[in-house]
Structure 1
Amino acid sequence: MSQRPRRRPPTSRPRTGARVAAVQALFQSEQSGETAETVIDQFVRHRLGPPPEGRGDPDAGYDDGRVPDVEVGLFARIVRTAVQAQEANDRMIAVALPAEWPLARLDPVLRALVRAGAAELSMTDGPPARVVINEYLDVAHGFFDGDEPRMANGLLDRLARQLRPQEFTDAAV
């Protein structure tokens, strides 16, 4: 699986920024072993929004490790929900994967992305499932240029049909 430098999502999309940051935070938490709350705090203090005045490039953004425009509440909620529901969501993700492709084989960024998407799909007060899937597909294209976005799309579609079956009935289509 090939990773590439992140493309810059439009800076006027704070909900997309929240999703990008959530994927990064979940990746960091898994790699470092830090708790979700520790990582959320680090992101809020050091990586979300424009840099403090007089510190860093005011135009700093995704390429500099910052997420310049973020809905912080959504970011924190996705990370917390992903961590709290990780065991159950990981079981659903594992079932959605081909038998020869265990969850541990997924690229760690892709794993974080699918966990974030599953967490948001489990939030019944969020946007429609298709919107969530499309948002994470955009985020996946920012991280990958191989087959990973297609895999993320398929996995999130399967999870959405399990978590929100009412949105996929004939009347809802």
Structure 2
Amino acid sequence: MKRSERRSAARLAASQALYQMEIADKGLADILAEFEAHWIGREIEGDSYTPAELAFFRDVVSGVLRDQLPIDRGLDDALAKGWPLKRVEALMRAILRAAFYELRNRPDVPARVAVTEYVDVAAAFFGPEESGMINAVLDALARQTRPAEFAGGR
């Protein structure tokens, strides 16, 4: 399996783990252990979960928790006025947080790759309107966070 496929699976798992942490009030150690033991790379009720790059998964989940305050502030600033992050559906919040963490902290991942990957995660759970909103927010954040990658119309 290609590294890009393992990274895609890690992004999906990280978004789901962050969501589950929020709704079930689980801690970092518990959620990492649960996902690594029971979800990532397993078959559950006929659904196969692709093996993920575990170090990348751990980095995104733990990084979002470590940097959640500045991540949330940045997302609040990028969202439409009158629509703060706390009003966004929990899974959408998890996806936005994971993506913004990558944009802020993973220069080894091209901004366009991070945006596309998380829009794909959103499309797996939401319709085109919600995925489009996530795309717009992440594109604005990517251009703000990594302007050099977008200089000259590239």
Q: Which of structure 1's runs of 4+ aligned residues deviate more than 2 A?
A: 123-126
Match among 7, 10, 24 for residue 18 of structure 1? 10
Greater relative contact order (CA < 8 Å, ≥ 6 in sequence): 1
- Which residue does the alignment assign to 1:39? 31
Aligned-partner Cα distance in 2 for 1:120–1:41: 22
The code of the aligned residue for 1:60 comes to: D
- Which residue does the alignment assign to 2:53? 71
- Which residue does the alignment assign to 2:22? 30
1:126 aligns with 2:108: yes
Which has a greater percent of helix? 2
1:96 aligns with 2:78: yes
For residues 62-117 of structure 1, the C-alpha deviation after alignment (integer angstroms, 9 at most, x for no partner) is xxxxx232111111111011111110010010011111211111111101000010
Which runs of 5 or more structure 1 residues have no equivalent in the other structure?
1-11, 62-66
- Which residue does the alignment assign to 2:98? 116
Contact 1:120 1:126 in 2 (8 A): no
- Which residue does the alignment assign to 1:7? none
The code of the aligned residue for 2:86 comes to: A
Q: Secondary structure at the match of 1:126?
A: coil
The code of the aligned residue for 2:39 comes to: R
Aligned-pair identity in percent equals 37
1:49 aligns with 2:41: yes
Q: Which structure has the greater CA radius of gyration?
A: 1
State the number of aligned residues: 151
Alignment RMSD (CA, Å): 1.8
Contact 1:60 1:68 in 2 (8 A): no
Contact 1:19 1:75 in 2 (8 A): yes
Which runs of 5 or more structure 2 residues have no equivalent in the other structure?
none
* TM-score, length basis structure 1: 0.80
- Which residue does the alignment assign to 1:85? 67
